[in-house]
Structure 1
């Protein structure tokens, strides 16, 4: 057997809390050989990303390595100086972060950020060579218009497209080891298949070793040779993938494999002629003249009900939200709130209308100001929309924290950096609730969360809806989430609504061909599913 490329022994990492240091990882071991993929799974806060970053000899601010060994290709990473570590990172060890939006420079084009590592930092390619390779990788990762998409800025592409661009960047120097930290979290199921295939093929062709961090157990089943389960910083067990899927040894591992059963209560169909909270009527919109990104889109959202809008990356889901909120004025059609047309432009809407439509964003990391405390984050909408100040505002902040099931005394003075992913998303919910809206647009709010935390968020949103009669427009590519919470489903493709109807009807055949494609693109726990699905589609 070949020597390991990466060896981690008895690794302990601590994080600062006030003046004390608390354990994050406790004595974890890891071995990885060239061409091998290790899957890391576990719930939020298990230490997966901390372990992945440690494989680069890196720890986040406020954390430290308290003990253990990290050896990469015979080199002790803990003993290397900063200059030699910089020479390894990006060149021989690459990292694909979970939140692409937070890791791109918004002022530089995608192609310039791709070429930075192979050309400017490591001098491995000329700029024309690197640009050519970028276009080839963009095509393999199924990015639209691969020859020209690199000339766009990060804000001009969808979240899923940006995640694929980051994956291409990590592969730019053909590294020996890539740490994939939730690389397909932001992708719809149809695109995910092609990206998983491209990642796996690239790993095999280059002979790269990979650590694949994910909370999606069906995805790790397709990608990993072995699976390691973590819980609260400790290793629970590690087995070859097929053995782990067939017979996990530990009770915690078996709990991760259990099928989540949460379903929101069914809501009655609104009576004929009832006025919806939101009406989107024949909306067409475009980013550049003559090139529509939405075409004749129509749907209603009624009080106390949830409309799920689904479709692949670039289908127009988030663009529809931008039109509804006034960030992108419609070219034609109208947006109505409680039967009253809204001005197309955000600047023309009065504060009362602004208050009634709020949004919870996909990436809490970029949606919450990292410099502000939770008191400041929640206090701002209370002051802006409701005019609350002083003790009244403080009391309402505390009520909101209690509503989202966070202890006010513990959380009110924290900043977002001191919160887990699920806690940040709860703060995003509280900020939306602060305005006392009629409608909340939830944009992929559970996509970055593990199954246990995501289920908690769905339960919270459902409870708040039942208590407050909220209307939800739920943008998602996760069909399991649609089954759990939706009353009505709108399927979008290429900026159009291709099918819509009550949830139960949408999941029963016959289906529109595109809806059928979505339903058959949801991975299952069979390690052969990806190969079989790709083969079936090539034959058809």
Structure 2
């Protein structure tokens, strides 16, 4: 590393204008440097300004926002003083970007190779043949399968982990000095995440590029960053080396972030007023799938002979990689996706496969909360209207009685009553997920199916949601079926765990003994793939290569 920083940010400010015309500060005087070859992490919860600062390094601000003060220099370029035309020449060559959602970054109608080399051709960095060879060398460096031919495929023909690495190849094709990684592994399951992190770190070390890694996941950041900046409300709370931040944090907020990673041991509750000797939910030989039905079976089979029981007051976790059948299982139990074989018994009665043929009481007693609150809540309806609908449908409430119950539900999920007049788009991610939960509670259920409900939330907000769910369980005598690829989340709230692989249950374990008792090779691989708050964890990780290859979905 040289003495002169590659990136220099001084007293940088970003402002925005609200719909009402009020001026607000988003980034409030942030300053930092990045040395050549250094990886800097920007961490903090949602709304802390991480992504806003990272995008500003490319000279970009979101609609409605503007740079209002300070300077950003990247190499010899004063990004804040450049025109938009000059910034366009900078992007992809001096500074490049790896997005959180690679699927959204690729054009589904164009071959991968054409998209990866596009920057090199636009900026006339090299002839097409040379660009394609450079791309293939990046595919090899990023440990992609069939590097000589994968570029001939379309985006939908590769896995999520492969697409995320291909988006990195797209960012690296112009040999930039600085790469911005915007939460690129958030949507990936743990085993895929490891391979992607290894590939990112390997390429950065070989090329000596600098990087900015945006994340709320300290354990992931610990594997790739040299230094960290902790942000809250657009201000720097603390800055230090990765070792110092993890092991000797000085600021109370940093300590709060780290505390959210501490494993919380689940304490089983005693089911009150319920027959605990008989299952609340019993699934027997369930098969489900998608596509056209032929001979009473779908063309794409996902679930295969899944069986388990859940007793009143107990919580069941379902873990596995993306594509293992976890969400399909929840949808089949809820009747959203009718199973084509097998049975679902709830409170001793067999449920019809299709929810349209279930009784109102059966629908009321078992509710589902979806992963993405953004798509689960009608953006055109107020929070009050969203919560009022199930109160009228299930309980016939109207008028003042319904309004009173809406306020009680908001209070139950620790949200102010004033939120009832807002639209979902005016709420934070954590608030929207609380509304999602309140809507399920409006039915007065005994079972809630939770489909990855914390995966899109930052660590602090997710921890608060889990704490709320524990309180509600004690108060309302609920049971949860919790679907997740986050093992620490499952350990925090579940009594028992099912491990799924390719649509089948490969192992059932007590949640508290998951790490110690796992016997199936896939369970062991999954558990060993959870990142730890240790910068040396990834380099010291030892996994059987044959085991990794056998269960690879990357």
Q: Which TM-score band (shorter chain)?
A: 0.7 to 0.9
Question: Counterpart of 1:55?
Answer: 57
Decide whether the 8 Å contact of 2:92 with 2:119 is kept in 1. Answer: no
Greater alpha carbon shift after TM alignment, 58-67 vs 20-29:
58-67
Q: 3-state SS of the aligned residue for 1:78?
A: helix
Deviations 1:437-474 (A, max 9, x none): 33222122222333322221111111112222222111
The partner residue of 1:285 within 264, 285, 288 is: 288
Q: CA deviation at 1:196?
A: 0.8
The partner residue of 1:67 within 63, 66, 69 is: 69
Q: CA deviation at 1:98?
A: 4.1
The partner residue of 1:532 within 534, 540, 546 is: 540
Decide whether the 8 Å contact of 2:141 with 2:203 is kept in 1. Answer: no
Q: Report the structure number with the largest CA radius of gyration.
A: 2
Q: 3-state SS of the aligned residue for 1:412?
A: helix
User: How many residues get paired?
Assistant: 532
Distance change in 2, residues 1:64/1:136 (3 Å): closer
Deviations 1:233-267 (A, max 9, x none): 22122222234334334343344334636444313
**Paired residues for 1:384-395 under 5 Å:** 384-395=393-404
Distance change in 2, residues 1:417/1:201 (3 Å): farther
Q: Any gaps of 5 or more consecutive residues in structure 2?
A: 292-297, 548-554
Residue 297 (str. 1) matches residue 306 (str. 2): yes
Q: Any gaps of 5 or more consecutive residues in structure 1?
A: none
| TM value normalised by structure 1 | 0.85
Question: Counterpart of 2:317?
Answer: 308
Deviations 1:168-224 (A, max 9, x none): 665566544332232222333222211111121233344443211222222211110
| TM value normalised by structure 2 | 0.83
Greater alpha carbon shift after TM alignment, 367-376 vs 398-407:
367-376
Decide whether the 8 Å contact of 1:109 with 1:150 is kept in 2. Answer: no
The partner residue of 1:448 within 453, 456, 462 is: 456
Q: CA deviation at 1:68?
A: 1.1
Q: 3-state SS of the aligned residue for 2:324?
A: coil
Q: CA deviation at 1:309?
A: 0.5
Question: Counterpart of 1:499?
Answer: 507
Q: 3-state SS of the aligned residue for 1:304?
A: coil
Residue 471 (str. 1) matches residue 472 (str. 2): no
CA distance in 2, matches of 1:431, 1:78: 45
Q: CA deviation at 1:495?
A: 1.6
The partner residue of 1:342 within 336, 351, 354 is: 351
Question: Counterpart of 2:489?
Answer: 481
Q: CA deviation at 1:311?
A: 1.4
Residue 513 (str. 1) matches residue 514 (str. 2): no
Distance change in 2, residues 1:131/1:15 (3 Å): farther
Q: CA deviation at 1:282?
A: 1.0
**Paired residues for 1:102-141 under 5 Å:** 103=104, 109=108, 115-116=114-115, 118-119=117-118, 123=122, 137=139, 140=142
Decide whether the 8 Å contact of 1:119 with 1:130 is kept in 2. Answer: no
Decide whether the 8 Å contact of 1:12 with 1:25 is kept in 2. Answer: yes
CA distance in 1, matches of 2:376, 2:152: 25
Q: CA deviation at 1:99?
A: 5.7
CA distance in 2, matches of 1:372, 1:135: 50
Question: Counterpart of 2:243?
Answer: 242
Greater alpha carbon shift after TM alignment, 81-90 vs 137-146:
137-146
